[in-house]
Amino acid sequence: MQGQVGRLLEEPRRDARHVSRGSLEPAEHFETLAQQERATHLGMWLFLTSEVLLFGALFGLYTGYRLEYREAFSQAVHHNNIAIGTINTAVLVTSSFSAAWAVHSARRGSRRGILVSLGVTLLLGLGFLALKAIEYLEHFAAGIYPGALYRSEELPGHGANLFFTLYFFLTGLHALHVVGGLTALAILALLAARGRHTPERHTSLELGVLYWHLVDVIWIFVWPLMYLQK
Amino acid sequence: MTTAAPPLEVAEASHPDYLRAESGVRSWLNTRDHKRIALMFLVAVNLSLLLGGLFALLLRVELLTPERTVMSASAYNRAFTLHGVVMVFMFMIPAIPTVFGNFLLPLMLGAKDVAFPRLNLASFYVYLLGSGLTLWSMIAGGADMGWTFYAPYSTTSPAAVAPVGLGVFVLGLSSIMTGLNFIVTVHTLRARGLSWHKLPLFVWGIYATSIIQVLATPVLGMSLLLVAVDRLFQLGIFDPTLGGDPVLFQHLFWFYSHPAVYIMILPAMGIISEVVCTFAHRPPASYRAIAYSSLGIAFVGFLTWGHHMFVAGMSVLDSGLFGVLSMFVAIFSAIKVLTWTATLRRGSICFDTPMLYFFWFLFLFIFGGMTGVAVATSSLDVHWHDTYFVVAHFHFIMVGGTLTAYLAGLHYWFPKLFGRCYSERWGMLSSITVFTGFFFTFMPQFLLGNAGMPRRYYSYPEQYAWLNVLSTGGASILAVGLLSTAACLAVALARGPRTSRNPWCSRSYEWLSASPPPPHNFLTQPDFERSPYDYHLPETIGVAAADAAAPAGQPAPSPGE
């Protein structure tokens, strides 16, 4: 006990970065590693909750306008390319699986497994963005732009205009999250190449993958709202 | 205040406190210590209070005479907008959590720091960035849409609305970071033996606040981001000429901004709960009533946003429902008020400055709360909506409540923060001045509103003149009171006598460490098995152990280890 107190007073502050490098020592203000892991996981879940509410505001807005412009929204949904939307859903769900496989590989201590799974995830993520870009270009070709720039002759009127403004805002924000997630996964892959994710300690990988799952889950809600309707 | 116990002085000499442990500008700007971050926030939010206060004075000077006094109508619009934005987003929302929450939460939990110290420091810089963006709009011509950003005016006004919207969005990020950090800290960093039902009540207040911060702030962030993007790229999401619906903006805005009122008042209630127990030397009349009513307010607060929109186009049924739900808040608040009052019964009450602020809080909170129930009644609200009655109501409850609690906390924990005592007589006189000024600023506004004077107008008919003069007079007294408080504390900071560890004889956990505390809060882990309100036990228990253990750096044997 006295030794503990002595250590507490004398030891200089350890940089928190030190901890993420696969060290098995907790950061200074935690007593045990388990306590620290519990804290970082809880923190991540809270962050994801706030992200859900960020998108929730847009979903709320969508609901409000859909009630106001039933017909126009339904027509606009039909205009969207259901094939690309559905393929993209499959792409993201698959990428979630490969991301989860990376965590599984880390638990088994397979560095190669982590790298391959993350590589697949990155490729699928880039594929998603590429398909999204093609879709945007199709829209632009048809005169479908957000806001005041909107000049589609096929779907005139305020309702369709609002639908596509929300569409661009929602999918654009989601695409930004995809880019963020891919950046995080790329960094985690670099760390994996240096052997930083050990079977005992791979919190950063778990958190990054958790974030990627959120990106996937949000898309699962965007998909029916923007592509699927009778 | 009592004198210091000698052993502690010895301990302080060998273990410098957090203020002196490191020196130099970088040791502050790059610190991870929650206490130093709290002090940096203290400086920042006080500057915001000063700025918001200056704008308020400008408004009151303009309203001194019925027609133009010192500024044009558009300058007046900008002044009240910046007064509202600065006070709400830069002072009242962050003030108590970032200053006292940061400083005290780890101390009250027996932790060395918050769960994510780097995130904590980052939240400070994000706060500065958001404030910078907001203030930049002032230089870039000012914003004139009021703190509520109502569309379509906010999306079409020629003023610099976008930087304010982005600034408040960034301030929201800082707020989310703080809330997230505190929730995780309470869940994971409680000392051994410290169960939820032994947490000091301030922790419950901060915890409930943090939940609202994490859940509601993103929605506001998104609404304001939409307004800002709308202005930059003409999205037209809230613009009726493009089919948008301005009322939807109001729904989104108030979904956050009504709970935001509880972000301001719940931590204030936490301070009040601590102050009343310490200065009455009594445990709370019902610990659970106070703790759970905080959570109750946080929950119901999410279901009341519609009462801001009774006249904005809402069905009678909706109005009725929102009205009734809003009154539930009054039930939880009444539970708190009655519990605080019952705590005083048979207590041995010390009338020091923080206790004086407790009484001011109680008066303003009850009066403001009662008028709150009145404006939640939709039929009455039609008469009062957008008049000075509403202005007076929310200044009483939201500003009065938060400000008096903030000042109570500032005096109560001043010895904890800086290890010095302020002049009790000076503090009391300032406190009385603050309350007198506040009362005479806003009481006339209730009467003005009831007589029909609308808010946000820079001129008014002759018959409202004398009440406006009274209100401006009150505002001047309030300014004098606040400046006097600042002077009192500044002098104490420079020349105040050194304090003992626990000058108020409180039993709460934060006083178990030295005042000011060492960098890691506790030299020896104190006993968290006992309650923070065990005033029925002799004073020396727990305290004696801490004092005796401190000098040699020897730990007291604790059952947990």
DSSP characters over A80-122: S-HHHHHHHHHHHHHHHHHHHHHHHHHHHT-HHHHHHHHHHHH
Please give, one letter per residue, the 3-state secondary structure of B213-259.
Answer: HHHHHHHHHHHHHHHHHHHHHCCCCCCHHHCCCHHHHHHHHHHHHHH
- Residues in chain A closer than 8 A to B555 (CB atoms): 1-2, 5
- B559 belongs to a structural domain: no
Contacts of A169 (CB under 8 A, 6+ apart): A58, A146, B226, B229, B235, B237
- B556 belongs to a structural domain: no
Between these two residues, A155 and B100, which has the higher pLDDT value?
B100
Q: Which of A9, A43, A57 sits opposite B116 (nearest CB)?
A: A43
pLDDT range class, residue B399, cuts 50, 70, 90: very high
Q: Which of B114, B116, B553 sits opposite A5 (nearest CB)?
A: B553
Quote the pLDDT of residue A230.
64
Average pLDDT over residues B531-557: 58
Average pLDDT over residues A160-189: 95
User: Per-residue pLDDT for A11 more than 50?
Assistant: no
| Bridge partners, residue B498, by sequence | B420
What residues of chain B, 230 to 249, have a C-beta less than 8 Å from chain A? 230, 233-237, 242-245, 248
User: Per-residue pLDDT for B124 more than 50?
Assistant: yes
Contact B223 A146 (CB under 8 A): no
Average pLDDT across chain B, whole number: 90
CB B261 within 8 A of CB B212: no
pLDDT range class, residue B159, cuts 50, 70, 90: confident
Structure token digits, residue A26: 């907790």
| Bridge partners, residue B454, by sequence | B387
Distance of CA B376 to CAs B253, B264, B323, B381, Å?
Answer: 18, 19, 5, 7
Q: How far apart are CA A92 and CA A82, in angstroms?
A: 15
- CA torsion sign, A50 to A52 to A55 to A57? negative
CB B548 within 8 A of CB B7: yes
Contact B188 A35 (CB under 8 A): yes
Identity of the highest mean pLDDT range in A144-158, B238-252, B393-407: B393-407
Between these two residues, A3 and B328, which has the higher pLDDT value?
B328
> Cβ of A35 under 8 Å from any chain B Cβ?
yes
Quote the pLDDT of residue A69.
92
Contacts of A34 (CB under 8 A, 6+ apart): none
Between these two residues, B313 and B545, which has the higher pLDDT value?
B313
Q: How far apart are CA B410 and CA B412, in angstroms?
A: 6
Q: Give per-residue pLDDT as tens, B471-530.
A: 999 999 999 999 999 999 999 999 999 999 999 999 999 999 998 999 989 888 888 888
Nearest-neighbour CA in chain A from B191: distance (Å):
10
CB B253 within 8 A of CB B194: no
- Residues in chain B closer than 8 A to A1 (CB atoms): 555, 557, 561
Quote the pLDDT of residue A9.
34
Q: How far apart are CA A186 and CA B397, in angstroms?
A: 50
- B407 belongs to a structural domain: yes
User: Per-residue pLDDT for B317 more than 50?
Assistant: yes
User: Per-residue pLDDT for A156 more than 90?
Assistant: no
Quote the pLDDT of residue B9.
46
Number of A–B residue contacts, CB under 8 Å: 134
User: Per-residue pLDDT for A153 more than 90?
Assistant: no
Q: Give per-residue pLDDT as tens, B540-550.
A: 555 544 554 44
For B240, nearest residue in chain A (alpha carbons):
A158
Range list of β-strands (E), B251-395: none
Quote the pLDDT of residue B160.
82
> Cβ of A181 under 8 Å from any chain B Cβ?
no
Average pLDDT over residues B307-313: 88
Average pLDDT over residues B435-461: 95
DSSP B298-331: HHHGGG-GGGG-TTSS--HHHHHHHHHHHHHHHH
Q: How far apart are CA A106 and CA B293, in angstroms?
A: 45
**Percentage of chain A modeled with pLDDT above 90:** 73
- B246 belongs to a structural domain: yes
Q: How far apart are CA B281 and CA B502, in angstroms?
A: 13
- B434 belongs to a structural domain: yes
- What total of structural domains would you count in chain B? 1
Nearest-neighbour CA in chain A from B243: distance (Å):
5
* CA–centroid distance for B12 within its chain: 32
Domain containing residue B359: 6-549
User: Per-residue pLDDT for B19 more than 80?
Assistant: yes
Residue B251 belongs to domain with CATH number: 1.20.210.10
How crowded is residue B477: how many other Cβ atoms within 10 Å of its Cβ?
A: 18
> Cβ of A5 under 8 Å from any chain B Cβ?
yes
Quote the pLDDT of residue A216.
96
Structure token digits, residue B441: 């600023």
Taking alpha carbons only, the member of A113, A96, A127, A99 closest to residue A186 is A99
* Among A185-194, B218-227, B405-414, B437-446, the least confident range: B218-227
- B555 belongs to a structural domain: no
Contact B233 A56 (CB under 8 A): no
pTM: predicted TM-score of the whole model, two decimal places: 0.90
**Percentage of chain B modeled with pLDDT above 70:** 93
A22: left (phi > 0), else alpha (psi -120 to 50), else beta?
left
> Cβ of A120 under 8 Å from any chain B Cβ?
no
Taking alpha carbons only, the member of A111, A112, A98 closest to residue A208 is A98
Per-residue exposure over B507-528, b if at least 16 CB sit within 10 Å of its own CB, e if not:
bbbbbbbbbbbbbbbbbbbbbb
User: Per-residue pLDDT for B444 more than 90?
Assistant: yes
Quote the pLDDT of residue B256.
84
User: Per-residue pLDDT for A7 more than 70?
Assistant: no
Quote the pLDDT of residue B322.
93
* CA–centroid distance for B166 within its chain: 22
Between these two residues, B539 and B129, which has the higher pLDDT value?
B129
Average pLDDT over residues B364-388: 92
Contact A161 B118 (CB under 8 A): no
Domains along the sequence of chain A with CATH: 33-226 (1.20.120.80)
User: Per-residue pLDDT for B418 more than 50?
Assistant: yes
Average pLDDT over residues B535-539: 79
User: Per-residue pLDDT for B434 more than 80?
Assistant: yes
For A44, nearest residue in chain B (alpha carbons):
B180
* Among A149-158, B338-347, B365-374, the least confident range: A149-158
Pick from A46, A145, A173 the residue to mutate for testing the B interface (most B CBs within 10 Å): A46
pLDDT range class, residue A100, cuts 50, 70, 90: very high
CB A226 within 8 A of CB A62: no
- B36 belongs to a structural domain: yes
- B1 belongs to a structural domain: no
Average pLDDT over residues B367-393: 93
Q: Give per-residue pLDDT as tens, B176-234.
A: 999 999 999 999 999 988 999 999 999 999 999 999 999 999 998 898 888 888 888 88
pLDDT range class, residue B539, cuts 50, 70, 90: low
What residues of chain B, 24 to 83, have a C-beta less than 8 Å from chain A? 32
